[in-house]
């Protein structure tokens, strides 16, 4: 990518897309194309076709998606499947039609089988049953990976895919029902501290192991891969380090400064028992994350408080 190359970021206002935008601006890229969802509905084939005809981007970061935590994934199963399929079908196909030089598709670690060996290697895709709570979302993302592979095989498109681990950071979603575990806990602990509540309820048993990556590290990895990777197989993006949800909760509690007790609601689902990415492929290409978890949570919490992010949205 040249500094003047026209780059389209789909989903530039989301956590991932906004981090990629920040990274590109910081690196001196000055021809970035964006559209809000109000201006361009990526589910609309006609609208996406017209956008590509008008703008003719050279490079595409496909970070737009319908996303949410366990509860949102389980409740909005049809929406998560339909909307994600439509978004990626339209953007990937029009990128081919209009001669995009390179596209990056962003997926999720939930593509892997529920009981896959740990850590999760890229080769484990489609080797077992998916976690039922987020199966529709996972199937959509697997379809995106396979679409990039198929367009590469049939048309010679340089379309690559990156599968991030659990992400957190600036511009996260703090909705009390539809957010992921880290921002949900951050908001819970903050509100408990503000109201002097004696306890905070946390879903599940606290035993599942999860890996978390600061979103600006992901953006740096995406930028690195767009510059240095042209392979067919998708690439795991993560830290290669995990911890229990209990340890995560204790860390967030410490960062926020909540002094009460944790109460575990074991009637709520735990999800997959462990989800750790094997990031040796990414590391061998020459990229490693920089921001460790506690530092990342501290940065995120400062941003959260500064932006009054705990207001519902």
The predicted structure's pLDDT at residue 269? 81
Average pLDDT over residues 69-96: 91
Average pLDDT over residues 65-77: 80
Cα 217–chain centre separation: 12
Band of pLDDT at residue 309, cut at 50, 70 and 90: low
Distance from C-alpha of 148 to C-alpha of 102, rounded to nearest angstrom: 11
Q: Residues 6 or more apart from 278 whose CB is under 8 A from it?
A: 119, 120, 121, 122, 236, 240
Residue 260 has pLDDT above 80, yes or no: yes
Percent of the chain with pLDDT over 90: 85
Q: Which domains can be identified in the chain, with CATH numbers? A: 7-172+211-241+275-292 (3.40.50.720)
**Positions marked catalytic:** 137
- Maximum Cα–Cα distance across the chain: 60
- DSSP assignment of 91-113 equals HHHHHHHTT-SEEEEE--GGGS-
Two structure tokens written together for 301: 């919490």
Band of pLDDT at residue 173, cut at 50, 70 and 90: confident
Q: What average pLDDT is seen over the chain?
A: 94
Q: Minimal CA–CA distance to 166: which of 116, 130, 120?
A: 120
Average pLDDT over residues 169-173: 91
The predicted structure's pLDDT at residue 310? 53
Two structure tokens written together for 80: 């998560």
| 101 exposure class (CB count in 10 Å sphere: 0-12, 13-18, 19+) | middle
- Establish whether 257 is an annotated binding residue: no
- Establish whether 107 is an annotated binding residue: yes
Average pLDDT over residues 198-225: 96
- Establish whether 41 is an annotated binding residue: no
**How far is the CA of 140 from the CAs of 24, 110, 203, in angstroms?**
27, 11, 26
- Establish whether 175 is an annotated binding residue: no
Residue-wise pLDDT for 44-55, tens only, equals 999 999 999 999
Residue-wise pLDDT for 275-297, tens only, equals 899 999 999 999 999 999 999 99
- Establish whether 108 is an annotated binding residue: yes
Max avg pLDDT among 23-32, 108-117, 269-278: 23-32
Q: Which residue has the higher pLDDT, 47 or 184?
A: 47
- Establish whether 188 is an annotated binding residue: yes
**How far is the CA of 252 from the CAs of 82, 154, 187, 259, 294, in angstroms?**
34, 47, 10, 11, 8
């Amino acid at each position: 990518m040249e500094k003047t190359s026209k780059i389209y970021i789909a989903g530039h206002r989301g956590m991932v897309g906004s981090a990629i935008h920040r990274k590109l601006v910081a690196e001196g890229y000055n021809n970035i194309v964006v559209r809000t969802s109000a201006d361009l509905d990526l589910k609309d084939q006609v609208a996406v076709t017209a956008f590509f005809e008008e703008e003719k981007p050279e490079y595409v970061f496909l970070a737009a998606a319908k996303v949410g935590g366990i509860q949102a994934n389980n409740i909005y199963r049809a929406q998560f499947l339909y909307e994600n399929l439509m978004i990626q079908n339209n953007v990937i196909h029009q990128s081919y039609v209009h001669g995009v030089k390179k596209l990056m598709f962003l997926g999720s670690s939930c593509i892997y089988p529920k009981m896959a060996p740990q850590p999760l290697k890229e080769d484990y895709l489609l080797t077992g049953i998916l976690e039922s709570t987020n199966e529709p979302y996972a199937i959509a993302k697997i379809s995106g990976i396979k679409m990039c592979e198929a367009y590469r095989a049939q048309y010679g498109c340089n379309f690559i895919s990156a599968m991030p681990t659990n992400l957190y950071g600036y511009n996260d979603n703090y909705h009390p029902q539809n957010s992921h575990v880290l921002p949900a806990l951050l908001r819970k602990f903050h509100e408990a501290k503000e109201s002097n509540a004696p306890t905070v309820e946390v879903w599940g048993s606290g035993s599942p192991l999860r890996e978390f990556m600061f979103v600006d590290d992901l953006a740096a990895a995406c930028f690195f891969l767009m510059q240095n990777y042209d392979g067919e197989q998708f690439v795991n993006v993560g830290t290669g380090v995990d911890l229990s949800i209990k340890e995560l909760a204790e860390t967030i509690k410490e960062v926020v400064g909540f002094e009460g007790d944790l109460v575990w609601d074991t009637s709520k689902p735990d999800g997959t028992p462990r989800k750790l990415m094997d990031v040796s492929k990414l590391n061998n290409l020459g990229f490693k994350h920089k921001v460790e978890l506690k530092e990342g949570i501290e940065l995120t919490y400062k941003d959260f408080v500064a932006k009054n992010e705990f207001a519902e949205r």
